[in-house]
Structure 1
C-alpha cells in the first residue's frame, strides 16, 4: 500500500503489527486489559493526528513508545483514582452496620413471644430444667444436683420441654 503521509504510515504499521505490539505491552505491563486499553487509546491518538510529511525511521518502535506512554498514563490515572478512594484513617469494616433490620427485629420479637408462651405452658420443673440447660449452660449432672433430682429425671424433663416447645411453635407459626 502506498502511503503519502506520516499518519497513513503509522496507521498501516499499527494494523500490521497490532498483535506483536499488544503482546509486548502485555509482557511489559503484566495486564491484558491495560494493554488493550493502551492499544485502543493509541489508535485514537493516531487517528486524530494531523498529516505530516516527516518520516519515522521505525514506525513500530514509535507506536510501541506511544502505547507504552499511554499505558503509564493509565496506570498513574488509576493510582490517583484509587488513592482518592482509599481512606487510610478509616477501617472500612467499621462502616458496615451489623445491626439487624427493623423487620428482622420485629420477627425475632414475635418468635420470642411465641417461645415465652410455649415456656409458660410447661410445668415448673420442665421449664427450670430447660432454662438451666439452654440459658445457663448447665449440664444434666449440675441441674440434677441443683434441683435435687436424678439425671434421668433431668433428661425426661428436657425431652418433655423440647417436645412441647417444638409442637407449640409448629402449631402457632
Structure 2
C-alpha cells in the first residue's frame, strides 16, 4: 500500500518535473490540450491521495504513466463524443444549424428598420458620432478630432442619441445599450 510519504514524493516530483512530463506527453498523444487536461487530472489524483497497492520504483515513470492513462481516457471520451455527434448530425441535419430561424430574422430586421428610423430623425452630427462610436468602434477622442468638437460634446451627443432611441422604444431591448436607460444606468 502506498504511504503518505510516497504521495508527497510524487507531488514534489510532479511539480519539479512538470515541464518535461508535459513535453513528453504532448509528443506521445499529439495534442497540447489533451496533455494539459491529462496533467490536470493527474494533479487532482495526486492531491486526493488514495490507495495504490503497487510499489513505485521510479516516481518520474510512475507519474508519466498516470498522466498517459488519463490522456488515454480523455482521448477515448472525445472519440466517443465525436462519434455521437456524427450520428446525431446524420439523423437530424438541422441540429447543428446555428443560423437564426425565420422568426428571429424577421424580428431582427424589424428592429434594424426601427433603429434606422430613429437615426434618420437625429441631427447629422449626432447620428455620425453615434454610428462612429457604436458601429465603427472609433475611440471617442478620435471622434472629437474628426468632428472638431471636444470630448465632452461627443459624450453629450452619445447620451442624446441613447435618449432618442430609449424614448422611441421605452426600454424594449432593441439595442442593448438603449435598454439600460437614457443615461446608461439601470432604470
Q: TM-score, normalised by structure 1?
A: 0.49
TM-score (norm. length: structure 2) = 0.46
Highest relative contact order (Cα 8 Å, sep 6+), 1 or 2? 1
Larger radius of gyration: 1
